[in-house]
Amino acid sequence: MSDNLVRLLVGTKRGLFVCAEERPGEWRLSAPLLEGREVYFAMREPRSGRLWAASRHRVWGAHLHVSEDGATWRTLDAGPAGGDGGTLEAIWTLAAGHATEPDLLYAGVEPAGLFVSRDGGASWRPVRALNEHPTRVTWQPMGGGLALSDVIVDERDARRVTVAVSAGGVYRSDDGGASWRPCNRGVRACFQPEEFPASGQCVHKLVAHPARPDRLYQQNHCGTYRSDDAGESWTDVTRGLPSDYGYALAVDPHDPDVAFVVPEASSHMRTVVDGRLRVFRTSDAGASWEPLTAGLPQQHAWVGVLREGLATDRHDPCGVYLGTSTGHLFASRDRGESWLPLAAFLPGILCVAPVGGAGGGS
């Protein structure tokens, strides 16, 4: 495949699909893979090039899968447990370790917890300093369960790892996981008696900018936020958006001031505001936002976009990819200015991950 073309892993409620760009603007959708499984997360591991997927099946439970080519997948025998030491409900995210630790992987799970593998996924151990943190008593399940949904390894320092818990907040370790502290100053917990607690916030999506790792963005139950100091403090950048609620968030890898979100009406409705599928983009680190709508439905589009349903590639300008709860898949190859429908009537989309060519990596 040409480096200028893109391949997408599309996880749905009934399996995994591969959507490949064969020529510019021409896409081909595969038959379903991992049939019958809810595929929560997918990624290309940057060191080996292997593809990973995390799934849940109502009979077989939660599993990890690995592939060399995207067409044939192997289910691993081993996997993490629940973060509370009990039954694993789901694996929400995977992250590769630092470049100096080629066999290290992290997994975020439900019930909320962090696990680490030092042998490429063959075995897993709990990160007890986080999973048994004294503030765990402030964590609570929200509408999507109690999950650790994001893991960020600082590319400059293998010992710095930042995670997001829904609902628990952002936590950071600066010593390789031996100790953790909450990093939630300035983030509201609008569902709590105390509006700005030390922990207990409901983080829906957390992203670090690859070119400026101290620049973090988060989409929260109670607003959209930016941090310029690796989570030490947060600035509310919700103003200019039609709602303070949403799940999806992505950044332009070439510009730390550019981010994308898809606001939703409320925690009760969980569909886009006013039935209009709009991706909002900031070009000034959240000081202002503009809706991107060309090619997206603007009437009667009562759809949702989940936390892994929005992604960008590494092209310049970056491509942006969007999957909805109603199984519609859209792509923009011009940083969101215009959108092309790639597929419709898939099972509900849970995750979208660009993995091919120069746009590879997630």
CA 161 to chain centre: 16
Q: Give the Cβ contact number of residue 337 at 10 Å.
A: 13
* C-alpha to C-alpha distance for 267 and 30, rounded to whole angstroms: 33
Does the structure show a pLDDT above 60 at 362?
no
331: β partners: 321, 340
The backbone torsions φ and ψ at residue 236, rounded to the nearest 5 degrees and listed phi first, read: -75, 120
Express each pLDDT in 154-209 by its tens digit: 999 999 999 999 999 999 999 999 999 999 999 999 999 999 999 999 999 999 99
**Degrees (nearest 5) of the Cα angle 174, 311, 28?**
140
Q: How far is residue 34's CA from residue 54's CA, in Å, rounded to a whole number?
A: 10
Task: Map out the domains of the chain with their CATH numbers.
Answer: 27-303 (2.130.10.10)
pLDDT digits over 82-99, tens only?
988 889 999 999 999 999
Helix (H) or strand (E) holding 307: none
For a pLDDT cut of 70, what percent of the chain falls above it? 98
| Amino acid 84: pLDDT | 87
pLDDT for 66 beyond 60: yes
The dihedrals phi and psi of 130, each to the nearest 5 degrees, come to: -90, -45
Residue 357 is predicted with a pLDDT of 45
Q: Alpha helices, DSSP H only, in 152-263?
A: none
Q: What pLDDT digit, counting tens, does each position of 21-38 carry? A: 999 889 999 999 999 999
Whether 260 has a pLDDT exceeding 70, the answer reads yes
pLDDT above 60 for 322: yes
Residues near 257 by Cβ (< 8 Å), separated by ≥ 6? 282, 283, 284, 285
The secondary structure element, H or E, covering residue 128 is helix 128-131
Strand partners, 280: 261, 291
CA gap 41, 58 in Å, rounded: 17
pLDDT in tens, 96-149: 999 999 999 999 999 999 999 999 999 999 999 999 999 999 999 987 789 999
**Distance between CA atoms of residues 8 and 346, nearest Å:** 14
Q: What's the pLDDT score for residue 142? A: 80
